Amino acid sequence: MIHVVAVITAKAGQRAAMLELFAANRAAVLAETGCIEYAATVDAAGMPPSKGSFGADTFVVIEKWESLAALQAHAVAPHMAAYGAKTKEMTESRVIHVLEPV
């Protein structure tokens, strides 16, 4: 199994719009062969800010894939290219962590 933690920071004030586009694309990703989990997360409400907080412009995508091949196919899927094109101008940064269990 492959785990992905994608830390995506939107340009100021753009996170909500990016999350709407993410939500619209999510069903297509979940239908991909090998996709186990694909969800956007944000800092938990009610928690005081800390060194570990991501802040108001960032969301974190938590993904699980059956294999590295499934993740690689996801990366080149047409709906992901379309999502990338729609969010390109809204994105400040993306840091993608690809992990495997030990």
- pLDDT band at 76, cuts 50/70/90? very high
Please state, in angstroms and rounded to a whole number, the distance separating the CA atoms of residues 92 and 5.
Answer: 17
Q: How far is CA 26 from CA 44, 47, 53, 100, in A?
A: 21, 27, 24, 22
Q: What is the mean pLDDT of the chain?
A: 97
Please write the tens of the pLDDT for every residue from 12-24: 999 999 999 999 9
pLDDT bucket at 50, cuts 50 / 70 / 90 = very high
d(CA 96, CA 20): 20
